[in-house]
Amino acid sequence: MSNTKAQVFLDINRTIAPISPLLFGGFAEHMGRCVYEGIYDPESPHADANGLRKDVMEALRDQSYTVIRYPGGNFLSGYNWLDGVGPKEGRPRRRELAWQSIETNQFGTNEFMRFCAEINTAPMLGVNMGAGDVQSACALVEYCNAPQGTYWSDLRASHGFAKPHNVRYWCVGNEMDGPWQIGHLDAAAYGNKAMEAAKLMKWLDPAIKTVLCGSSNDRMPTYPEWDRTTLEIAWEQMDYLSIHYYAGNQANDTASYLASAVSFERFVDTLEGTLRYVKARQRSKHDVHLSWDEWQVWYKGDPVQGNWTEAPHLAEEIYNLEDALVVAQWLNVFLRKSQVLKIACVAQIVNVISWLHTRKDGLLKHPSYYVFKLVSNFARGEALDVLVKAPQVETRQYDAVPVLDVSASYNAETQQGAIFLVNRSLTESAPTDIVWQDGKTVQVDKAWQLSGSDPKEANLWESPNRIVAKAISTPSVEAGRATITLPPLSFTVLTTRIA
């Protein structure tokens, strides 16, 4: 890497698109200890009167989630939603096939609605397109959204919820391209089933927005043909195409891992191209956007099968500094691709592949928890088209990449902005000039940084605060220029306002 200073050029008039608030969403699945012992744990000293973990909800509120997707995931494709409503003592215990666990059904749709209200977030529900059928999907929409006076809405009322839940976002299945999926279908069969389901769901409630299952990742042999085929069949009935992606450092090649944003952007670019192609081919006026409704780091090899036990420990990854820097880049990509990316849900919000872990009496926050919290709280308004001129670092997987990964936002209403900067170098600081080109007098209000010298450093129960975001001194801005030195392996957030 050369010694040249990095330069980040911003202009509040050079925008990409409004940042959809739904980019800061989460995902909660009946898998491992996400629901049981994570969200819902009547046995915990932290449980409220409904069995919801108060400490977990407080941590989630701090992260300002705008939408939570539920109940799965692979779980969805074997789930009968009727098992999870009505008096708890009558709900069946079942062998749950996706994660080979015992499902007690003590938490279901209505408990999830109560949880969403508690943390002030919107629900996003899935309908089962694997073992489930179109009729059951319609019944759930009617149960949730119809005013009283019909069989399913009266059933909801009899369960204690007189008013409709008014669920707006609906996933039409989950990862139906994957042979691991219960009831997996080929693209044409799924496209047709999803199209019919969405059509009838929208007949029941025209206000809902539907999400078509796209490719489970960019390594699927059917990618991106699956996306094209299903979109061509179901285009007019769908509002979003779902994409999923899990990243990892399997090769223990940290330099490449810290350039993961390259893969994320390629994935979005390909699917944005597919959306444009299908729209043109259909001669359609309708738009479909992307919903990245499962994203996270996941590779450390924890078990994923529960051996027919309740709330087994599954996929409880311990995330470290390098994982947090990959998460920061992911969020940068969300802003840089905000013209097409309108929903994103991190998988998952607690315990399972999550930066938040529970014990009966406590909570552990991994480094990436703080990264998400900063971005979800400060990225507002429009994403800016940032020009970055930076020295390059060499990587085995992606060749040379700029040492900095950057995104920025500006909210014209409040005249406040935010800049999010990752220094992906393992060893070198990056002296950086930030230049505002729009001629406005800007001031940096606050600055936070998360960094460390060892990419593998993590927060553990016995030392929970090794890697946290800390307030740092703010650089002064003179003649539209601020200078800051970004340490290696760091994520820095600057909030700004027009002086």
* Window 100-139: contact mask with ligand AHR (x via CB under 6 A): ----------------------------------------
Q: Which residue has the tokens 């306002």?
A: 497
Q: How far is the CB of 29 from ligand AHR (least distance, A)?
A: 5
Q: Considering the rule CB under 6 A, would residue 77 count as an interface residue with ligand AHR?
A: no
Q: Considering the rule CB under 6 A, would residue 405 count as an interface residue with ligand AHR?
A: no
CB neighbourhood size of 53 (10 A): 25
Joined tokens for residue 214: 């796209």
Joined tokens for residue 268: 């979005």
Q: Which helix (H) or strand (E) holds 447?
A: strand 442-451
Alpha carbon separation from 254 to 44, 327, 394, 397, 423 (Å, rounded): 38, 14, 11, 10, 13
121 closest CA partner among 73, 171, 71, 168 = 168
* Window 242-281: contact mask with ligand AHR (x via CB under 6 A): ----------------------------------------
Let me know if 142 is a catalytic residue. no
Cα separation, 365 vs 346, whole angstroms: 15
Size of site (CB under 6 A) for ligand AHR: 11
Let me know if 294 is a catalytic residue. yes
Please select the residue that binds ligand AHR; options are 294, 316, 322, 405, rule is CB under 6 A: 294
Q: Which residue, judged by CB position, is nearest to ligand AHR in the bound state?
A: 73
Q: Considering the rule CB under 6 A, would residue 72 count as an interface residue with ligand AHR?
A: yes
Please select the residue that binds ligand AHR; options are 73, 84, 214, 381, rule is CB under 6 A: 73
Q: How far is the CB of 326 from ligand AHR (least distance, A)?
A: 17
CB-based contacts of 215-218 (< 8 A; 24+ apart in sequence):
215/177, 215/243, 215/244, 215/271, 216/175, 216/177, 216/178, 216/244, 217/244, 217/245, 217/246, 218/245, 218/263, 218/266, 218/267, 218/270
Q: How far is the CB of 244 from ligand AHR (least distance, A)?
A: 6
Name the DSSP letter for residue 148.
S
Alpha carbon 183 to its chain centroid, in Å, reads 25
Helix axes 187-204, 225-234, angle to 10 degrees: 40
Which region, judged by CB under 6 A, interacts with ligand AHR, from 57-65, 68-76, 121-129, 402-410?
68-76
Q: How far is the CB of 21 from ligand AHR (least distance, A)?
A: 22
Catalytic entry in 37, 294, 316, 317: 294
Whose Cβ is closer to ligand AHR: residue 28's or residue 386's? Answer: 28
Q: Considering the rule CB under 6 A, would residue 238 count as an interface residue with ligand AHR?
A: no
Please select the residue that binds ligand AHR; options are 20, 74, 449, 451, rule is CB under 6 A: 74
* Window 163-192: contact mask with ligand AHR (x via CB under 6 A): -----------xx-----------------
Sequence-ordered strand ranges (E) for 65-168: 67-70, 94-96, 101-103, 122-127
Q: Which residues pair with 122 in a beta bridge?
A: 67
Q: How far is the CB of 283 from ligand AHR (least distance, A)?
A: 33
* Angle (CA) 391 394 397, round 5°: 135
Q: Which helix (H) or strand (E) holds 490?
A: strand 490-498
Which region, judged by CB under 6 A, interacts with ligand AHR, from 347-355, 421-429, 437-445, 462-470?
347-355
Whose Cβ is closer to ligand AHR: residue 99's or residue 448's? Answer: 99
Q: Considering the rule CB under 6 A, would residue 29 count as an interface residue with ligand AHR?
A: yes
Which region, judged by CB under 6 A, interacts with ligand AHR, from 15-23, 69-77, 125-133, 433-441?
69-77
Which region, judged by CB under 6 A, interacts with ligand AHR, from 18-26, 72-80, 106-114, 230-238?
72-80
Contact present, 477 and 445 (Cβ < 8 Å): no
Q: Considering the rule CB under 6 A, would residue 347 count as an interface residue with ligand AHR?
A: yes
Q: Considering the rule CB under 6 A, would residue 351 count as an interface residue with ligand AHR?
A: no
Contact present, 345 and 26 (Cβ < 8 Å): yes
Whose Cβ is closer to ligand AHR: residue 72's or residue 452's? Answer: 72
Catalytic entry in 103, 111, 142, 175: 175
Conformational region of residue 348, where left means phi above 0, alpha means psi within -120 to 50, and beta covers everything else: beta
Q: Which residues bind ligand AHR (CB under 6 A)?
A: 29, 31, 72-74, 174-175, 294, 347-348, 353
Catalytic residue list: 175, 294
